[in-house]
Amino acid sequence: MKKLLTVLLSGLLFIGLVGCSSNDEKPAGGDEEITVYFLTKILGNQYWSVVEEGARAAADELGVKLVVTGLANEAEVEKQVQQLQDAVSAQASAIVIGPVDSTAMANPVSDAFKSGIPIVAVDTMINTDDFSAALLTDNVAAGRDAAKSMIELLEEKGVSKDEVAQVAMQIGNSGSQTIIDRLAGFNEYWDANAPKTWEVLNKDVKVNDGDITKAVNFTQDFLTTYPNLKGVFGANNGSTVGFVTGLTEANRQDIAMVGFDFSPEMEKFIRTDGFTASTIVQKQYMMGYEGVKVAVELAKGNKPAEKVIDTGVLVVRKNNIDNPEVQEIINPTK
Amino acid sequence: MMKFMKRAVKADDGEVKVLSHISASGRKALFSGVALILLFSFFAITKKGLFLSTGNLINIAQQVVTYAIIGYGLTFCLVSGGTDLSAGASMALSGIIVLTLLSMGIPWPIAFIASLIFGILMGILNGFSIEVLGVVPFIATLGTQWVFRGLANVIVDGKPIYTNVIASQSTQDIFYLFGAGKIGGTGLPYSVIIALVYGIILYFVLAKTRIGREIYACGSNLEAAKLSGINTVRTRMFAYCVSGFSAAICGILVTSRISSAQPMAGQGYELEAIAASVLGGVSNSGGEGTIINTIIGALMMGVLRNGLNLSGVNSFIQQVIIGFILVGAVALEVYRHKKQS
């Protein structure tokens, strides 16, 4: 029994050490009493790790303590509710949250907000008015930018205005408001500005559930099915990578491509001679960075001028990829 | 006559064994209870007011509900010598069933009962695959996990559905009470009361009734249980039904709490529930453990998670710590067994 207790106590000691070491992280000289909880959406995810980097950079710069918690997958709504409650119990000075589900998180966020702690949503909107600020991409506007870029690319490729040209699309999942907005923006700009003979294949939008293998297969099927296919549009990162892989494998340099988000695959594709591509890059680093800054201001009692802040997007192509202002967004840590 | 005597002796032997196993669970409950108190005191000392505030203690209780209820069901399966990997998926499917029924305008008591009956049916399917078709529990319930998860996705076409599909506002309000509502004044959530009452009932079923003792007998020695005249098929089937039923209760509570039924909800909850049960002292090789062990284990996990969140420990490190503690706890158990024998 004695031995067992020893083992147990040493286990507790271990937790204690970890617990304390994280408590000692407070940078010297800053607002030591301010602790911001950052509830990221998916831990270890490419996109969210950039948001987190931005948040950490802002916390370091302002000298506040940042506590990061997150989820293993998008289905863990209940866990995010718990993390939110824990942040409230911990009397966080402010909470920055990437809501895992706009509707399901509405009540819990509202409860937390009513406890008096400022809440800043990043990346995803929350379906309640009970939050202090939100920093996100205006996805309808981003969709319009994507359509504008697609038309430019097709014109550059020499597709004429009275030629039949088809554009295929695929998406990650059909329920997400983000995707719905991007497609709406894309179609809105397209209908107003593209030649009448150019057609978006809205009746055959493929849903790949974020599975890259599926996305590649869909690309191949598009290439087989539509002889007049001139362009493809991926409305999220997974779809974009699927198109990149599919087009590279088939070496279809005649197809123009517009994607979303920035990945090593997309960078290589944009830089490859022969292919014509652009990608709509969200400023997720800025969401994390500005999100924490706004949160700290709120903790000090200063409200931002606007409640909902559009962080904007950037259209990245071969001719601007090495510009400093583009590099700053796609490689923020360098 | 000889044959009958032999059987009687075996039955006697089985009874003695069962009793010794229950008292072993008691010792383990004492042991993990001490660990829980240590853990609790640790956070109470390091995080003082934050951890011990009424609000936070209620949070912990509310957070533990899901794992505890799924854990009850798993404890029945583990004690009977099996396991149920389909519990998380059953939970998601039950949640979707109850919200779909409510959206059709069916009164909530009927929708609840229907969902709970469906939970029992899922248990029967598990029990049937294992006891009648002879598939080992690990594989059988892995298969049904996919079946239930798939069905959940099929019903709602892979998208979450929200409680605003319920036409009547009063039904929406009542439904929200179960998972998120608090008893006026005290601030105690209904879900905690439900978990507690349900836990007490199951404690008595497992520890004090005939079927409960038969479950222990099956788990400690299936052959001996058969020879002593226990209908092992029926007994173990019952354990899976308890698990399905518990998952369904959980499905209703979680759907209410997050105002939505998510087809991918509850992924890995069965593993968390197994971890909680084992931490509390339920043996993963069968025949040992009571609902008290499960509750203690679930509280340990809850206190640990909450305390680490309050201490600002990042989620990755939390995983590492909880993983080590789980392995450590089972290693201690193995060590004790070796020493005893």
- From A196's Cα to the closest Cα of chain B, the distance in A is 34
DSSP E strand boundaries for B69-225: 161-162, 182-183, 188-189
Q: Is B243 an 8 Å CB contact of chain A?
A: no
Q: Is B260 an 8 Å CB contact of chain A?
A: yes
Q: What is the ipTM of this complex?
A: 0.71
Disruptive mutation site among A1, A42, A86, A128 for chain B (greatest number of B CBs within 10 Å)? A86
Asked whether A160 and A206 are in contact (CB, 8 A), the reply is no
Q: Judged by CB atoms within 8 Å, which residues 183-212 of A form the interface with B?
A: 209
- Tens-digit pLDDT profile for chain A (334 aa)? 555 555 555 565 555 545 444 444 444 445 558 999 999 998 877 788 889 999 999 999 999 999 999 888 777 888 999 999 999 999 999 999 999 988 889 999 999 999 999 999 999 889 999 999 999 999 999 999 999 999 999 999 999 999 999 999 999 877 778 899 999 999 999 999 999 999 999 988 888 877 788 888 889 889 988 989 999 999 998 899 999 999 998 899 999 999 998 888 899 899 999 999 999 999 889 999 999 999 999 999 999 889 999 999 999 999 999 988 888 877 776 5
Candidates B302, B311, B51; CA nearest to A37 is B311
Whole-angstrom distance, CA of residue A272 vs CA of residue A252: 12
**The whole model's pTM is what?**
0.76
What SS3 state is found at A300? coil
Asked whether A70 and A39 are in contact (CB, 8 A), the reply is yes
Candidates B159, B144, B150; CA nearest to B100 is B159
Residue A5: its H or E element: helix A2-23
Whole-angstrom distance, CA of residue A277 vs CA of residue A259: 8
pLDDT in the model for residue B283: 87
Scanning the structure block, which residue is given the tokens 């147990």? A8
pLDDT in the model for residue A103: 87
A78/B66 CB distance under 8 A: yes
Query: What is the number of H-type helices and E-type strands within chain A?
Result: 11, 13
Token pair listed for A181: 């907005």
Q: Is the dihedral of CA B57, B333, A7, B318 positive or negative?
A: negative
What SS3 state is found at B216? helix
Contacts of B254 in chain A (CB under 8 A): 78
Whole-angstrom distance, CA of residue B233 vs CA of residue A160: 74
Contacts of A72 in chain B (CB under 8 A): 268
Question: A229 forms bridges with which residues in the sheet?
Answer: A166
Whole-angstrom distance, CA of residue A69 vs CA of residue A54: 15
Q: DSSP class of residue A230?
A: E
Q: Is the dihedral of CA B80, B85, B90, B91 positive or negative?
A: positive
Stretch among A114-118, B16-20, B182-186, B223-227 having the lowest mean pLDDT? B16-20
Mind listing the pLDDT tens digit for each residue in B265-323?
Answer: 888 899 999 999 999 989 888 888 999 999 999 999 999 988 988 888 877 788 899 89
Answer whether CATH 3.60.20.10 is correct for domain A35-136+284-311: no
What SS3 state is found at A303? coil
Question: A282 forms bridges with which residues in the sheet?
Answer: A313
Tell me how crowded residue A14 is: count the other CB atoms within 10 A of its CB: 14
**Mean pLDDT, range B204-213, rounded to an integer:** 94
Token pair listed for B238: 């019952």
φ, ψ of residue A252 in degrees (nearest 5): -90, 85
Tell me how crowded residue A82 is: count the other CB atoms within 10 A of its CB: 22
Mind listing the pLDDT tens digit for each residue in B57-102?
Answer: 888 898 899 999 999 999 999 999 999 999 999 999 999 999 999 9
What SS3 state is found at A316? strand
Stretch among A83-97, B163-177, B203-217 having the lowest mean pLDDT? B163-177
Q: Judged by CB atoms within 8 Å, which residues 46-85 of A form the interface with B?
A: 65, 67-70, 72-78, 81-83, 85
**Mean pLDDT, range B221-230, rounded to an integer:** 92
Scanning the structure block, which residue is given the tokens 């962080």? A311
Mind listing the pLDDT tens digit for each residue in B175-187?
Answer: 988 988 888 767 8
Disruptive mutation site among A77, A81, A88 for chain B (greatest number of B CBs within 10 Å)? A77
CA A277 to chain centre: 20
Question: A317 forms bridges with which residues in the sheet?
Answer: A278
pLDDT in the model for residue A270: 94
Residue spans per domain, chain A: 35-136+284-311, 139-281
Chain B nearest-CA residue for A42: B315
pLDDT in the model for residue B22: 61
A35-136+284-311 and A139-281 in the same fold: yes
The angle that helices B291-310 and A77-89 make with each other, rounded to 10 degrees, is 60
- A77: nearest CB among B258, B307, B313: B258
Disruptive mutation site among B64, B309, B320 for chain A (greatest number of A CBs within 10 Å)? B309
- B258: nearest CB among A14, A72, A104: A104
DSSP string, A125-177: --SSS--SEEEE--HHHHHHHHHHHHHHHHHHTT--TTS-EEEEEEES-TT-H
Share of chain B above pLDDT 90, in %: 58
Whole-angstrom distance, CA of residue A105 vs CA of residue A221: 38
Token pair listed for B45: 């000392």
Asked whether A119 and A131 are in contact (CB, 8 A), the reply is yes
Answer whether CATH 2.40.50.140 is correct for domain A139-281: no
How many degrees, rounded to 5, is the angle at CA B155 between CA B152 and CA B159?
Answer: 80
Whole-angstrom distance, CA of residue A106 vs CA of residue A126: 6
DSSP E strand boundaries for B78-192: 161-162, 182-183, 188-189
Chain B nearest-CA residue for A90: B310
Q: Is A35 an 8 Å CB contact of chain B?
A: yes
Residues in chain A: 334
Candidates B265, B250, B216, B222; CA nearest to B136 is B222
Contacts of A172 in chain B (CB under 8 A): none
Q: Judged by CB atoms within 8 Å, which residues 160-179 of A form the interface with B?
A: 173-175
pLDDT in the model for residue B29: 79
pLDDT in the model for residue B9: 39
Disruptive mutation site among A13, A22, A65, A69 for chain B (greatest number of B CBs within 10 Å)? A69
Q: Is the pLDDT of residue B3 over 80?
A: no
- A77: nearest CB among B265, B310, B312: B265
